[in-house]
Structure 1
Amino acid sequence: MTRGPRRKQQADTPTTAPGVSATAGSNAAGRNLFNPVAIRAEYALPAEAYAPIPDDAARSGVSDIPRSVLFVGRTSELDALKAAFTRAGEVVGHAVHGLGGVGKSALAAHWAGSRGEPVRWWITADDTAKVDAGLAGLARALHPGLAGLPAELETERAIEWLAGHDGWLLVLDNVEDPAHIDPLLNRVAGRGPVLVTTRRATGWHRHATTVRLGVLEPADALDLFVRILIQQGPRDTNGADAVCAELGYLALAVEQAAAFCAETGTTPSDYLGMLAQWPARMFAATSAGGDSARTIARIWRITLDRLTDTPLAGDLLRLLAWYAPDHIPRDDLLNGAADPPSCAVALGRLAAYNMVTDNHDGTLSVHRLVQAVARTPDPHDLHRHTDGIARARDHAAELLSNAYPDDSRNPANWPRYRALLPHTDALTTHHTADALSEAAAYRAEQGALASALHAHQRTRMAYERVLGPDHPDALTSRNSLAGAYESAGDLGRAIPLHEQTLTNRTRVQGADHPETLISRSNLAYAYESAGDLGRAIPLYEQTLANAERVLSPGHPMIATVRANLERARSASGPSS
């Protein structure tokens, strides 16, 4: 906001219209300093343009508040705003902050539209230039005769009027930085309510209290989706609740998905399939007349653009995108992501823009749709290049694997295992990780054999797909799956897997490799469990001989194989 220029004090200084200059001239004797200036009528301004805005300018009411036809829910938030702005003796500012697309502007429009102030003015406040432009628009709405004045004078007239009158409210929408509106708030504080919407959670302590806005309630999200979908007539709404859930009840995403379905004739169930198969295209899709800059793919790109001075912030967001959306143990899963000070600064920046939530219990949360967009490559988005997403995925897998304790049998480690299991499941839904085998081992130890088998099956398929069937990690996962079948009593599946694993290990790693010795011993144990001692005992004998030859004398595997051999011989009777 700028102040107007000082008024000229010379009474005889001619006034000129914008674009018209006085022309200097003189006669031969030099007696005339200036010739009279002729002002063309089309450049002349009415006299009221040079006077303050009248006190009664708002008598007929002035408003540019957007209509909120499709507003749903938010009862508690509206009640909180109503209470905050009606406290006796207080006229304060409030900042509604939240993730981009969560519905901050819709809430502000609905609240402001229900108010009774004669002047209700909406200003898009991304930067100081837009704030000034919005104020200039208010000045012209209050006093049309101001049109034609320099914009900075219109802005100043609006601020002067606001500072000297009651009976107005302002909505400052999408404020990027509190500093952009400080000059305005400093001059009009106490005269009328000011509601700010922003992605920024911090920096408001000087002028406003904050209200965090979350996602829609499931029932409200479904109501919004269905209302948009059936605007043109009856439609198939089956699957609408599933779409809302998949979109994490984010207001903008629900609105755009419903509009897409309504326009294209897509059923909610088909939309869900498209979202799974072509996520990048669906995140960028809009209906006719929709704002392409406000798609769910782009709203967070704008936020990340603001964070380019902290590159680690984008790296951490892409990493966190591979875990479960809630209860991400910060100390465990970000241990080693970066040095602690840098990590703290980057997370602080993400939290300040509501891209992550830093919970009081030491965990982090990320909206599931933010995660989905962050791990979906887009060559046109510098924050979502394929190589960066792949690095983040692999780093997430490494950190998760390292976070698991070594001993799944130790009850002291079980709380940590339970905390990591949801993130293992989330990561392996999209990509494999070493951590899944650790999680499967814990589940087997807890007696959850069905879920352990499923986890081992997924691990094996993923490792073989990513690393190849002969990679040592793939062979280990196959051995673990065979052991899981054996624990479940399914020797018919366990034994062929053990045999295949031993054959591949012998070929790839050699007959005397410690991992090959383990596979041979496991196969012998499976034969013994099946009652086939004729095959079990020779394998035990071969394993023991090789282990005594290649391993140190005190190696625990030697004692284990020897004990198994003795048990098998005893079971076979004296003839053995």
Structure 2
Amino acid sequence: MAEPLGTSNEISGAVRNAVQAASVHGDAYVGGVHHHHAPEVRWPCRVGVVPLGADRFQERDLSAPLADAIGAGSTAVLAGMGGAGKTQLVAEFARLMWDTGQVDLLVWITAAAQEAIVSSYATAAVKIGQSAGERDDQEASDRFLEWLAATDRRWLIVLDDVQKPSDLRGLWPPRQLTGRVVVTTRRRDAALTRRGHLIEVGTFTAVEATAYLRTKLADSSASADGAAELAAELGYLPVALAQAAAYLTDRKLTCAAYLQRFVDQRRRLHEVVPEPESLPDDHRATLAATWSLSMELADQLAPAGLALPVLELAAVLDPNGIPDAVLTAPAVLEHLATRLGAAEPVEAEDVREALHGLNRLSLVIVDSDDPHRSVRIHELVQRSTRDRLGDEQLAIVAHAAADALMSAWPQIERDTEYGQVLRTNTDTLHRRTRLWHPVLSRAGNSRGAAGRVTEAAEYFTALRSHAMQRLGPDHPDTLAIRHNLACWHGESGDTAGAVGELEDLLTDRSRVLGVGHIDTLYTRHELARFREAVGDVAKAVAEYEQLLAESTERLGQEHIDTLTTRHNLAYLKGSTEEGGAAIVDIEGLLADECRSLGSDHFNTLSTRRTLANQLGKVGDVMDAIAKLEELLVDQFRVLGPYHPRTLMTRNDVAYWRGKSGDAAGAVAEFQELYADESSVLGPSHPDVLITRHNLAYWRGRVGDAKGAVAELQDVLSDQSRVLSPDHPSILSTRHSLAHWRGEAGDAAGAVDGFATLLADRLRVLGSEHPDTRRTRDDLARWQGDAGDVNESGK
């Protein structure tokens, strides 16, 4: 091989090895091999390109923990969903370390594939003089890792966006006191997260997100008005905020105007973010494409092909928490098997495995310790997933989710928190897909059953409008919604309005469905119940008796609707002068229900409560207490300790305890009940307010009349905020307040209270209702005590 001009490396004689003491300038040839001269290393040294800082970089609560975790000799793994800002956080840290002279070597590697990692290590080896470039990349990479383990130079290696844990097999930088390693990834695999300090990178906080938008838009013509609302709608996701800011700046929109476009469900996600060529801050993908690769990788994990269909179901439910029971319901398993065209059935464990795969790719968060909210997902991941579906496919997914919610809904809602989670998931499903399904009515009735009667009425009012537009006035579903609406209007206090609505509905159901249809009979049943509530007791009794005869003939003596009618008729008779006869009827009903429905059926338990209270009404107070305490044992077992009916029975026990002469015992039990109800139902729940009313009454009975007045005034104020003015609970509280005003020495105040209450009860209940008569009697008594003899004698 000819030597280049100017090269002279001649040795004569038999020489095994030769060492040249002086410097060698230029290339050297030894044994016929051409050795390149290693370039001179200049420290500090940087390899790779650190991403440019984001325009208006937003400091985060994570910045300080990140700096603490990436100390000398440590490894930190930043894991989080795509778009959470992991790269920008680390880039800011890396620039700080470089600019302040805290590292001699900074290596930034875009680690999307193993080949990229090996190639970057090889480049680093050359740059620091550990390879002359003639070796292959793998050998140079090995030399670089060896150097990292032995050097006393300070170094920082950043492995950005690791896609697969296996890509780092044999390529992890060594643990070294002078070194630091930072990994960013969407993965949560143990093979990555156990390598060092795990830092979960989520979204901005609300304050950070709003501050970012305001700062970003400060120098543009776009207005930051509505920044907080827009940030919330975008889920505080950094990549979404950056692209939204670029979009509205380019189009000179306000945050409020952009928000209107963004929430328009007719628009796809790619329509409300910048085009790929207009992305800010060197973003690699539009918001719509941010999670595509993660979805594809998740779908490749075992069980293959299942992750995406499961993600589609999660995309139509509540992002803040989806129960495991919903995503593993039989309806979901059947849907998934059909979706995959699988010969074998899909099992619940297959779904859980798919969810864990999605969790590993940071597309969802799985919390196995919280069965009510076991899966959480960002709203923008949901929207991106829904955008991949056509209208027909979205409707199929929505129906499967609705069927799953329906099957996961317990017949008896023992757990109030679980009921709220199911209602929220149903609301989200309806809002995202406009699906029509029986689960919508289930969600409304669940609200009422939980004591949120005003909310239930408002819910069915909105649902009726939707049904009228979508189905028409005579559709059976529209009629069913009208029925529920009327009943919850009545439960919220508008009993007269409920009677009017049910009368109109009865006419329409008789015309559309027929007089003998079970839904028509049910409307008659509820109409009779609310007739009694407005004081038309005789008409209500007559309606129940006729309805019982027809129900027995059409449905049979042991049909649940027939038994329910018998219960209500006996209860109604018990509230009149037929108390003894009512007990006989209730005892007979209870025996039939135990035989037909079972002793643990909800209706059977309800009848036992009715029987116990009726015994108390006819004077057998101790037997009433004993039966209620026995009932409580079974309600704790069947319904749970915090079910509304269980709490009602505790209320009954405390009430009859007071009636037995133990007023102090009643106060103690009502205090315990109030504490439990408040923590479970909330302080404004109607049942909690009733308990406060009863507690105040019995405090008065133990001698604190003035304290009772003060507490009842507070109760009445709180009831007025959540109930209608004519609600029975408000009228009852007003009655007690007038009574204790008199007992506290304010006879004139008692007269005024009873006089206005009498006028309202005459209007709402009529002159013959027992509550109206009691009010009239109490008014006469206090008029006499106040010296108004003429009025008291009327």
Interval containing the TM-score (normalised by the shorter chain): 0.7 to 0.9
Point out the more displaced range, 525-534 or 161-170.
525-534
1:92 maps to 2:74: yes
**Residue in 1 that maps onto 2:112:** 126
Separation (CA, whole Å) in 2 of partners of 1:458 and 1:118 = 66
CA-CA distance at 1:101 after TM superposition: 0.5
Q: Give the 5 Å matches for 1:278-297.
A: 278-281=266-269, 285-286=273-274, 289-290=278-279, 294-297=285-288
Larger Rg belongs to: 2
> Does the 8 Å CA contact 1:319/1:396 hold for their aligned counterparts?
yes
Q: Give the 5 Å matches for 1:265-304.
A: 265-277=252-264, 278-281=266-269, 285-286=273-274, 289-290=278-279, 294-304=285-295
Q: Give the 5 Å matches for 1:150-299.
A: 159=145, 162=148, 165=151, 166-185=153-172, 192-202=179-189, 203-204=191-192, 207-231=195-219, 233=220, 235-277=222-264, 278-281=266-269, 285-286=273-274, 289-290=278-279, 294-299=285-290
Distance 1:572 1:68, change over 3 A: closer
CA-CA distance at 1:252 after TM superposition: 0.6
CA-CA distance at 1:506 after TM superposition: 3.4
> Does the 8 Å CA contact 1:318/1:374 hold for their aligned counterparts?
no
1:423 maps to 2:425: yes
**Residue in 2 that maps onto 1:20:** none
CA-CA distance at 1:198 after TM superposition: 0.3
Separation (CA, whole Å) in 1 of partners of 2:132 and 2:468 = 73
**Residue in 1 that maps onto 2:405:** 400
How far does the alpha carbon of each residue in 1:281-320 deviate from its partner, in whole angstroms, 9 at most, with x for none? Answer: 4566216531685222211222111122333322222222
TM-score, normalization by structure 1: 0.77
**SS state at 1:294 partner:** coil
Q: Give the 5 Å matches for 1:25-64.
A: 50-51=35-36, 57-63=41-47, 64=49
> Root-mean-square deviation (CA), in Å?
3.9
Q: Which structure dedicates a bigger proportion of its chain to helix?
A: 2
CA-CA distance at 1:127 after TM superposition: 0.9
Separation (CA, whole Å) in 2 of partners of 1:191 and 1:471 = 75
Separation (CA, whole Å) in 2 of partners of 1:476 and 1:389 = 26
**Residue in 1 that maps onto 2:744:** none
How far does the alpha carbon of each residue in 1:492-520 deviate from its partner, in whole angstroms, 9 at most, with x for none? Answer: 65345434543443344433222221123
Q: Give the 5 Å matches for 1:58-73.
A: 58-63=42-47, 64-69=49-54, 70-73=56-59
Separation (CA, whole Å) in 1 of partners of 2:500 and 2:378 = 40
Q: Give the 5 Å matches for 1:483-522.
A: 483-490=487-494, 493-495=497-499, 497-522=501-526
Look up the equivalent residue of 1:355 and give its one-letter code: L
**Residue in 1 that maps onto 2:91:** 109
> Does the 8 Å CA contact 1:335/1:399 hold for their aligned counterparts?
yes
> Does the 8 Å CA contact 1:46/1:145 hold for their aligned counterparts?
no
**Residue in 2 that maps onto 1:308:** 299
Distance 1:205 1:416, change over 3 A: closer
2:461 to 451, 457, 462: 457
How far does the alpha carbon of each residue in 1:505-538 deviate from its partner, in whole angstroms, 9 at most, with x for none? Answer: 3344433222221123334545565677998788
CA-CA distance at 1:348 after TM superposition: 1.0
How far does the alpha carbon of each residue in 1:175-199 deviate from its partner, in whole angstroms, 9 at most, with x for none? Answer: 0112112222167877632211000
Point out the more displaced range, 543-552 or 175-184.
543-552
**Residue in 1 that maps onto 2:566:** 559
**SS state at 1:62 partner:** strand
**Residue in 2 that maps onto 1:33:** none
1:82 to 64, 67, 73: 67
Separation (CA, whole Å) in 1 of partners of 2:166 and 2:199 = 19
1:353 maps to 2:341: no
> Does the 8 Å CA contact 2:288/2:384 hold for their aligned counterparts?
no
Separation (CA, whole Å) in 1 of partners of 2:498 and 2:465 = 16
> Does the 8 Å CA contact 2:270/2:287 hold for their aligned counterparts?
no
Instruction: Count residues in correspondence.
Output: 519
> Does the 8 Å CA contact 2:306/2:354 hold for their aligned counterparts?
yes
User: Which structure's relative contact order is higher, taking Cα pairs within 8 Å and 6+ residues apart?
Assistant: 1
**Residue in 1 that maps onto 2:641:** none
Separation (CA, whole Å) in 2 of partners of 1:242 and 1:514 = 48
**Residue in 2 that maps onto 1:440:** 444
Point out the more displaced range, 525-534 or 422-431.
525-534
Distance 1:15 1:401, change over 3 A: farther
**Residue in 1 that maps onto 2:312:** 318
How far does the alpha carbon of each residue in 1:19-58 deviate from its partner, in whole angstroms, 9 at most, with x for none? Answer: xxxxxxxxxxxxxxxxxxxxxxxxxx9779955856x614
Look up the equivalent residue of 1:178 and give its one-letter code: P
Separation (CA, whole Å) in 2 of partners of 1:460 and 1:371 = 32
> Does the 8 Å CA contact 1:324/1:427 hold for their aligned counterparts?
yes
Distance 1:274 1:141, change over 3 A: farther
**Residue in 1 that maps onto 2:11:** none
**Residue in 2 that maps onto 1:42:** none
Distance 1:284 1:16, change over 3 A: farther
> Does the 8 Å CA contact 2:295/2:308 hold for their aligned counterparts?
yes
Q: Which runs of 5+ in 2 are unaligned?
A: 5-25, 334-346, 579-765, 769-794
> Does the 8 Å CA contact 1:313/1:349 hold for their aligned counterparts?
yes
Distance 1:136 1:461, change over 3 A: farther
1:364 maps to 2:374: yes
**SS state at 2:353 partner:** helix
Separation (CA, whole Å) in 1 of partners of 2:572 and 2:175 = 89
Separation (CA, whole Å) in 2 of partners of 1:47 and 1:279 = 67
Distance 1:136 1:506, change over 3 A: farther
Separation (CA, whole Å) in 1 of partners of 2:143 and 2:326 = 56
Look up the equivalent residue of 2:356 and give its one-letter code: G
Look up the equivalent residue of 1:68 and give its one-letter code: G
Point out the more displaced range, 162-171 or 537-546.
537-546
Separation (CA, whole Å) in 2 of partners of 1:101 and 1:50 = 47
Separation (CA, whole Å) in 1 of partners of 2:516 and 2:557 = 15
**SS state at 1:406 partner:** coil
Separation (CA, whole Å) in 1 of partners of 2:291 and 2:489 = 45
Look up the equivalent residue of 2:416 and give its one-letter code: W
Distance 1:361 1:560, change over 3 A: closer
TM-score, normalization by structure 2: 0.58
CA-CA distance at 1:162 after TM superposition: 4.3
> Does the 8 Å CA contact 2:525/2:565 hold for their aligned counterparts?
no
Distance 1:512 1:53, change over 3 A: farther
How far does the alpha carbon of each residue in 1:79-133 deviate from its partner, in whole angstroms, 9 at most, with x for none? Answer: 333333325xxx2322110011111101110111111212212111111222234
> Does the 8 Å CA contact 1:321/1:375 hold for their aligned counterparts?
yes
Separation (CA, whole Å) in 2 of partners of 1:15 and 1:365 = 71
Point out the more displaced range, 214-223 or 557-566.
557-566
> Does the 8 Å CA contact 1:169/1:192 hold for their aligned counterparts?
yes
Look up the equivalent residue of 2:454 and give its one-letter code: A
